[in-house]
Amino acid sequence: MARVPALFVGALVGLLTLGTLIAVAWRAEFGSGLQAADWAAVRFTVSQAVLSALLSVGLAVPVARALARREFKGRSALITLLGAPFLLPVIVAVLGLLAVFGRGGVLNDLLGLMGLPPVSIYGYHGVVLAHVFFNLPLATRLLLQGWLSIPSERFRLAATLNAPVGRLLEWPMLRRVVPGALLVVFLICLTSFAVALTLGGGPRATTVELAIYQAVRFDFDLGRAALLACVQFVICAVAALLAWQVTAVDGFGAGLDRVVQRWDGSRLADFLWIAVATLFLIVPLAMVVVRGVPGLIDPYSGIWPAAARSVGVAIVSAFLTTIMALTLALRGGRLVAVIGVLPLAASSLVVGTGLFLMVFPFVRPSDLALPVTALVNAALALPFALRSLAPAVESVQADYGRLTAHLGMRGWTVLRLVILPRIRRPLGFATGLAAALSMGDLGVIALFADEQNATLPLEMYRLMGSYRMEEAAGAGLLLVGLSLLLFWICDRGGRINADV
């Protein structure tokens, strides 16, 4: 039903990923090789991603275990809150971390009162701290699903036999789930451009993506930028392939979905882990609100045009993402699945560098900053939208495929009358997620934009670079509000009257 549109979407995704890689490789100066600073960037990128993944998943194990075996008021809200960092614009979260751990942050104020020297968040440890902040909730959600997948009957049987739960039930589950979680977090940390841009702290704390940005924007050394982009793509492709291969299917079975009554472990220790993780998550977000209100009362004059541009880019990007994901989901098949995960192997900076090299001989890149940003954001959000839509479309086709064929319904008629009404919930969620991710992007726009077409995240970064922190906090609070508003509108729109 969607063969030709799916081929078109596949060609577009291929152009934005493999096509831009070819453009990058064509321009890359392989003969000159990587310089000492480039090798340092590669080592820093890989080492911080490894350490960030180990810390995020390692800390998530006791937090997820505590959430899995303790019932308390607000537990559902807390688990929902664990998804907030994924929707939160990276630059805003960095601002919240600076408010807590920065030179003028709460932590250094407390250290000053105690007569202790201040700490700095910039550099290697700051990048790792930010990545743990973003990925600890994600890792906790992934591991929590593993715990909840163990049937409650097995825990009851273990209690009856007085068997060791950790060795017989939890450890086998962790051996299946942890490797995939580690690789997913590792892949995310490899492509975290905004964190390195704001917290990198000099040549010794430069990632490959940051080196690409510096080569294009400051040195205009397109050959070196292309070579670094090839290196980044190879690293991400290997990590994405490993994550795809290692992620295992759970083999416990569904059980009877009873609430698990746990008798093992320390209740105090579990609640301490939950409390510490909650504070680590909530305090920086609260500081963004506290420090952002004065900035919104007397806002920077350029904040509103930048906000309007961000909203426009996010709406266009979300629309493109939804159309592409729906087209691929309707087509289905292994090839479509490969096309859907292909953007995971590419980062926004690599794709942006390739597009920059492709358009530079013909037009000014700044003239295409907004449409290119919307297109790249749509492609990079495609795997997440497809993961939400594909199972729903497959289920509807399995339930109603024979009936629609018997009635002679085809094409647009089936889509309008049968499929779309029954996938409104995942469709709204996917559209809102794509809009929120696009609102907070600080990748391609940093390469292409000039002073006249900056989006809100880029304007916020420029305010932070000028040490106008109150105005930056106001912009950050507005950015969070707009991101959550777009997500809520789309998600809510998909859920209204969706029970068919």
Q: Is 32 exposed, middle or buried (0-12, 13-18, 19+ CB in 10 A)?
A: exposed
Give residue for tokens 């746990």: 262
Same structural domain for residues 139 and 207?
yes
Give residue for tokens 């932070």: 464
Same structural domain for residues 247 and 312?
no
Cα dihedral across residues 182, 183, 187, 188: positive or negative: negative
Could you give the number of structural domains in the chain?
A: 2
SS (H, E, C) 189-227: HHCCHHHHHHHCCCHHHCCHHHHHHHHHHCCCCHHHHHH
- Condensed to tens digits (0 to 9), the pLDDT of residues 262-295 reads 556 677 888 899 899 889 888 888 888 888 888 7
- One-character DSSP codes across 132-149: HHHHHHHHHHHHHHHHHT
Give residue for tokens 């919104």: 296
Element holding 287 (H helix, E strand):
helix 267-297
Reference 193, options 353, 26, 374; nearest CA is 353
Same structural domain for residues 316 and 192?
no
Q: Is 431 exposed, middle or buried (0-12, 13-18, 19+ CB in 10 A)?
A: buried
The CATH number assigned to the domain holding 153 equals 1.10.3720.10
- B/e letters for 95-132, b = 16+ CB within 10 Å, e = fewer, are bbbbbbbbeebeebeeeeeeeeeeeebbebbbbbbbbb
Q: State how far Cα 413 lies from the chain centre.
A: 35
Reference 446, options 437, 436, 433, 457; nearest CA is 457
The set of residues, in sequence order, having a beta carbon less than 8 Å from that of 205 and lying 6+ positions away, is: 44, 122, 123, 124, 126, 127, 196, 199
In Å, what is the CA distance from 22 to each residue of 29, 33, 230, 341? 13, 18, 9, 19
What is the distance between the alpha carbons of residues 405 and 414, in angstroms, rounded to a whole number? 9
Q: Which of 290, 306, 325 is the last residue of a domain?
A: 290
The set of residues, in sequence order, having a beta carbon less than 8 Å from that of 119 and lying 6+ positions away, is: 101, 107, 108, 111
What is the distance between the alpha carbons of residues 286 and 21, in angstroms, rounded to a whole number? 40
What is the distance between the alpha carbons of residues 66 and 76, in angstroms, rounded to a whole number? 13
Q: Which of 290, 312, 330 is the last residue of a domain?
A: 290
Same structural domain for residues 283 and 312?
no
Looking at residue 105, what DSSP letter applies? Answer: S
Under a CB-based contact definition with an 8 Å cutoff, are residues 426 and 385 in contact? no
Q: How many CB atoms lie within 10 A of CB 188?
A: 20
Same structural domain for residues 442 and 353?
yes
- pLDDT tens for the chain, 500 residues long, are 457 788 888 888 888 888 888 887 787 766 667 778 888 888 898 999 999 999 999 999 999 888 888 777 877 778 777 777 777 888 888 888 888 888 878 888 888 888 888 888 888 888 999 999 988 988 888 888 777 767 666 666 666 666 666 566 777 778 888 888 888 888 888 888 888 888 876 667 788 888 888 887 777 777 777 788 888 888 887 877 776 666 544 444 444 444 455 556 677 888 899 899 889 888 888 888 888 888 777 777 778 999 999 999 999 999 999 999 998 888 877 767 777 777 877 778 788 888 888 888 888 888 888 999 999 999 988 888 888 888 888 888 888 878 878 778 877 788 878 888 888 888 888 899 899 989 988 888 888 888 788 899 998 888 888 878 888 888 888 998 899 899 889 888 877 765 54
- Condensed to tens digits (0 to 9), the pLDDT of residues 392-404 reads 888 888 888 788 7
Q: How many CB atoms lie within 10 A of CB 490?
A: 23
Same structural domain for residues 391 and 419?
yes
Same structural domain for residues 261 and 379?
no
Same structural domain for residues 204 and 264?
yes
Same structural domain for residues 308 and 229?
no
Q: Which of 255, 273, 290 is the last residue of a domain?
A: 290
Under a CB-based contact definition with an 8 Å cutoff, are residues 323 and 389 in contact? no
What's the token pair of residue 261? 């009554």
What's the token pair of residue 295? 């900035």
Same structural domain for residues 183 and 93?
yes
Same structural domain for residues 126 and 14?
no
Q: pTM for the full model?
A: 0.80
Structural domain of 92:
34-290
Under a CB-based contact definition with an 8 Å cutoff, are residues 72 and 205 in contact? no
Same structural domain for residues 259 and 346?
no
